[in-house]
Amino acid sequence: MYKLLPFIIASLTFIPQARTEEKPIQIKPYGYISYEILYDTYRSMDTRDGELYLFPKKPQYDIYGNDINKRSKFNMLSVHSRFGINISGPDALGARTSGRMEADFFGTHQNYVRMVRMRQAFIRLNWENTELLMGNTFHPTFVLDCFPLTVSFAAAVPFHPLNRSPQLRVTHNFSTDFSASLSFLVHGYHYSAGPSDAQRNSGLPESVIQLRWGNSRDIMLGVTGGYKFLSPRDITNNGMATSKTVGAYHLQGFTKWVTSPVTIKAEAMYGENMSHFVMIGGYGAKGTPQTIDWEGDYDYANLRTLSLWTDIHSNHEIWQWGLFAGYTENLGSKDLYTPIAGLSRYDDLHYLLRVSPRITYFTNNLSFGLEYSYYNAVYAENFDEYRRPSASMDAAINSHIVFQAKYDF
């Protein structure tokens, strides 16, 4: 027995060495600590104690005609500090394997702010020209190579889409300059206005296709198209079963141009019920209040939204200036439309404008950013039968100022 001991020890030491040669699992942590000072000159729509800023509130007047929302607001936060791990391991099915898990303290609702929230958790398989991604990550419309680098949180929502969802995504590179992806998604905590399970209850995933040309180091452009189904209710007011669904589409075009001194990005989005992107949108009953059978069954109609933005920033390694400009508008519905409480978001807006200059200083893994944002929110006073704004209120204007210190690791 003692004579066999050296051979046993040798065999045990050999096995880990063989596994090491087969790409052992590697875990690399990453993240950052963020500290922010927020200041507003006008009361605004926001959540997470002001971390996710949207736009100024609708003017509200007292008995003397004074706008009570013309008041300042101040806060200090660290809730979007984030941590995550990138994981890689042995090949499987002839593909390189990797994964990511990421969380922050943003919470999934205002009531849960400062609680840990899952941001991403996905598995990725990479073959020579094809990638398969399975798990929770950014919606395809949030193009990681082309989004605004604003100092303020959430990459310029509601002009730019914000959504992370469980999904299955296949991407194929047809050449070094052309790729296509097909995704199937189920809405997670970024769900459409209305019942949170309306998309799951439709029995169908959201489907998205995206085509991209060029590369992110030089010039890139792409287009995206998607379609979703919602099933808002199972029973009518008079107790009859219903399986009515409402479909909605979205279209996106984006581009990025990198030169030695500056990087320029731009995006246009148009679609129906884009509320799951934290944008203006929603749906209501199709028809007029007089023609809809409120006790029985009825069809649905979508609100349409247009959003445009551009972002330009310098490429200096230490001092980086940037400028963001965005515009979004409520275009109403193509069908006769009657609102239903709870099935839309921000549909009282006519249009919204934002202009944001910024400056950021980088030193190793520490950075300091300062951004001023001018918001001009125009609310609709009256609507036509298609829910298109026909008269507007005076603009609500806010100056939103953000100072950020960030320590990356």
Q: DSSP letter at 57?
A: P
Q: Rounded to 5 degrees, what angle do the CA atoms 306, 309, 315 make?
A: 165
- In angstroms, the CA 351 to CA 329 distance is 4
> How large is the average pLDDT for residues 311-335?
97
Cβ(272)–Cβ(302) below 8 Å? yes
Tokens 């990479």 sit at which residue? Answer: 126
Residue 16 clears pLDDT 90, i.e. is over it: no
Residue 11 clears pLDDT 50, i.e. is over it: no
In sequence order, which residues have a C-beta less than 8 Å from that of residue 199 and are 6 or more positions away? 186, 187, 191, 192, 206, 228, 229, 230, 231, 276
> How large is the average pLDDT for residues 235-254?
96
> How large is the average pLDDT for residues 280-297?
95
* Model-wide pTM > 0.75: yes
Residue 271, CA distances (Å) to 143, 159, 328, 397 in order: 17, 13, 12, 26
> Could you give the percent of the chain with pLDDT greater than 70?
95
Residues 172-224 pLDDT 10s? 999 999 999 999 999 989 999 999 999 999 999 999 999 999 988 899 999 99
Q: Which domains does the chain have, with CATH numbers?
A: 2-408 (2.40.160.10)
Identify the pLDDT of residue 2: 38
In sequence order, which residues have a C-beta less than 8 Å from that of residue 15 and are 6 or more positions away? none
Residue 162, CA distances (Å) to 153, 277, 278 in order: 11, 5, 6
Altogether, the residues listed in the chain come to a count of 409
Buried b / exposed e over 290-319, threshold 16 CB at 10 Å, is eebeeeebbebbbbbbbbebbbbbeeeeee
> How large is the average pLDDT for residues 76-98?
96
pLDDT band of residue 9 (cuts 50, 70, 90) is very low
Residue 5 clears pLDDT 80, i.e. is over it: no
pLDDT band of residue 14 (cuts 50, 70, 90) is very low
Residues 27-67 pLDDT 10s? 999 999 999 999 999 999 999 999 999 999 999 999 999 99
Q: How is 333-366 classified by DSSP, letter by letter?
A: -SS-EE--TTSEESTTEEEEEEEEEEEEEEETTE
Residue 327 clears pLDDT 70, i.e. is over it: yes
Identify the pLDDT of residue 62: 93
Cβ(44)–Cβ(403) below 8 Å? no
Identify the pLDDT of residue 21: 57
Of the candidates 303, 314, 379, 295, which has an alpha carbon nearest to the alpha carbon of residue 338? 303
Identify the pLDDT of residue 6: 45
Residue 284 clears pLDDT 90, i.e. is over it: yes
Residues 381-395 pLDDT 10s? 999 999 999 999 999
Tokens 């200041």 sit at which residue? Answer: 39
Identify the pLDDT of residue 22: 76
Identify the pLDDT of residue 4: 39
In sequence order, which residues have a C-beta less than 8 Å from that of residue 361 and are 6 or more positions away? 318, 319, 320, 367, 368, 369
Q: Residue 4: which H helix or E strand, with range?
A: none
- In angstroms, the CA 179 to CA 167 distance is 19
- The whole-chain average pLDDT of the chain stands at 93
